[in-house]
Amino acid sequence: MRPLLLGVLGCSLLLSVRAFYSPDDDVVELTPSNFNKEVIQSDALWLVEFYAPWCGHCRNLVPDWKKAATALKGIVKVGAVDADQHKSLGGQYGVRGFPTIKIFGANKNKPEEYQGGRSSQAIVDGALSALRSLVKERLSGGSSGSGYKQQQSGSGGSKKDVVELTDDNFDQMVLESGEVWMVEFFAPWCGHCKNLEPEWTAAATAVKEQTKGKVRLGAVDATVHQVVSSRYGIRGFPTIKIFRKGEEPEDYQGGRTRADIIERALDLFSDNAPAPELLEILNEDVVKKTCEDSQLCVIAVLPHILDTGATGRNGYLEVMMKMADKYKKKMWGWLWAEAGAQLELEASLGIGGFGYPAMAAINTRKMKYALLRGSFSETGIHDFLRELSVGRGSTATFGGGAMPNIQSVDAWDGKDGQLPEEEEYDLSDVDMDEDFDKDEL
């Protein structure tokens, strides 16, 4: 990824990561490197905040989160994840906005969403309530709290999402495919391989979902399939290699937790992802599919074809396609419409009737939008989107608080527009002198 940007339009201040929590605080800074050991394998109850440094609401929460952590010290563990920097952790736990607080209790693989208030007292009360529930569950013979045995059994993912690779299918599945592969070479007797298995399995499921199968995780039993293992010089276990079509394999040097693996996989996905498709708004389905599947939707309203001709319109579309490629790692949606074709949409964005070309970035989940105030150029659009990426820029709410109706229109045929043919009238039998006989006023 992903980058998680659903909090972009709701937050407005940029703040250094180091200004949030320091080693002197009772809040534990969590990262992909320590999350599994500190939280998942722990018997303690954890409250974990997922935040973004640019988020104003996150910034406002800091003093209360620190105060609650101090009050709960030795009773409940309190942590924080910079989900803007560590997108894999946020994605793994379904974080959609900032700040998000989750309670890691009896089943660490399925944390609960904290729904309480954001004051220090409310946070402490919520933590103690969750702790009482955990103690009752243990008294009744429920989970021991760590959830690690469940994780080891594979509940964190599906083994079918790890592709079994062999001497016979390796070339076809990996080298000849268009996907990026992360391949583990293992030995059944290897203790480190056994420890990696649940992490690899959980990561495989998450990566499959988040990259829509564009990055895949596989495994080779190197003690059985020695041809392919020898080809890549496998000497120790487990060895993980990254395969991209047409390139030499790369050794994976990252951590061995699921979060580490997912984070690297999402980076690989972003690096190799094609630019998103730029679609014309032809009907409601186009808007719904593009914007609901994207964290942010960039919409341009271009001048009427009679005003620019095909050459002018293609120039605007080319600028948009360059920007879509530049920001492809964000996985935003990109749409355009002709001026006057979607009047309700224009009205809801405050565009209508003038100032074309125009552009808006919308968040359909929050019903918020921001308008391009600068020039419709690579520089102007880049500055506009960069400001949004760091949580700056003015925003507004959709007129009516809901998405407007979208009209069904025909797709542009790529040609210059034509003026409508004028209807000819036969005036041969009209008495033109009749009006001239009347007296002038």
pLDDT tens-digit readout, 97-106: 889 999 998 8
Same domain, 132 and 218: no
pLDDT of residue 225 exceeding 70: yes
Structural domain includes residue 71: yes
Give the per-residue pLDDT at 14: 35
Together in a domain, 345 and 317: yes
End residue of a domain, out of 107, 139, 171: 139
16 in any annotated domain: no
Residues 6+ apart with CB under 8 A from 165: 173, 174, 183, 218, 219, 220, 225, 228
In a domain, 85, yes or no: yes
Report pLDDT for 428: 61
Residues 193 and 283 in one domain: no
Q: Rounded CA gap, 419 and 401, in Å?
A: 37
Q: Kindly indicate the confidence band of residue 216, based on its pLDDT and cuts at 50, 70 and 90.
A: very high
Average pLDDT, stretch 110-119?
86
pTM (two decimals): 0.48
Residue 242 falls within a domain, yes or no? yes
More confident residue, 86 or 252: 252
Tell whether 189 is covered by a domain.
yes
Reply yes or no on whether the pLDDT at 152 is more than 70: no
Range in 187-191, 250-254, 397-401 the model is least confident about? 397-401
Q: 128 forms bridges with which residues in the sheet?
A: none
User: How does pLDDT run across 20-63, given as a tens digit for each residue?
Assistant: 898 889 999 998 888 888 898 888 999 999 999 988 889 999 99
pLDDT digits (tens, 9 = 90+) for 412-433: 999 998 877 666 656 566 565 5
Residues 39 and 77 in one domain: yes
CB 72 within 8 A of CB 27: no
Residue 441 has pLDDT above 60, yes or no: no
229/235 Cα distance (integer angstroms): 9
Residues 131, 49 within the same domain = yes
Q: Is 193 a catalytic residue?
A: yes
As a whole number, mean pLDDT of residues 238-250 equals: 94
- Residue-level pLDDT at 317: 96
Flag whether 312 is in a domain.
yes
The total number of structural domains that make up the chain? 3
Say if residue 261 is in the same domain as residue 283. Answer: no
Question: Are residues 390 and 296 both part of a single domain?
Answer: yes
Q: Decide which of 228, 247, 272 is a domain's last residue.
A: 272
Distance CA 149, CA 204 (A): 19
Kindly state the average pLDDT of the residues 379-386: 92
Same-domain status, 215 and 299? no
pLDDT at site 308: 94
Which of 11, 55, 291, 297 is an active site residue?
55
The answer to whether residue 437 is domain-embedded is: no
- Quote the CA–CA distance of 278 and 271 in Å, as a whole number: 19
78 sits in which H/E element: strand 77-82
Asked, for residue 12, whether it belongs to a domain, the answer is no
203 and 237 assigned to the same domain: yes
The whole-number pLDDT of residue 158 equals: 74
Higher-confidence residue of 331 and 218: namely 218
Q: Which of 139, 154, 182 is the last residue of a domain?
A: 139
| Pair (217, 255) in one structural domain | yes
- Active-site option among 11, 193, 291, 297: 193
**In angstroms, how far is the first alpha carbon of the chain from the final one?**
77
The burial of 85, by beta-carbon neighbours within 10 Å (0-12 exposed, 13-18 middle, 19 or more buried), is given as middle
High-pLDDT (> 70) share of the chain, %? 86
Q: Does the pLDDT of residue 437 top 60, yes or no?
A: no
Question: Is the pLDDT confidence value at 169 over 70?
Answer: yes
Digit-coded pLDDT (tens) for 5-14? 444 344 433 3
**Cα 43 from chain centre:** 31
Say whether 421 sits in a helix, a strand or coil.
coil
Peptide bond into 274 cis (omega under 30): no
Q: What pLDDT does residue 143 have?
A: 47
The CATH number covering residue 236 comes to 3.40.30.10
Host domain of residue 134: 28-139
145 vs 121, residue with greater confidence: 121
- Say whether 291 is catalytic: no
Peptide bond into 99 cis (omega under 30): yes
Same domain, 267 and 294: no
* 356 in the same domain as 292: yes
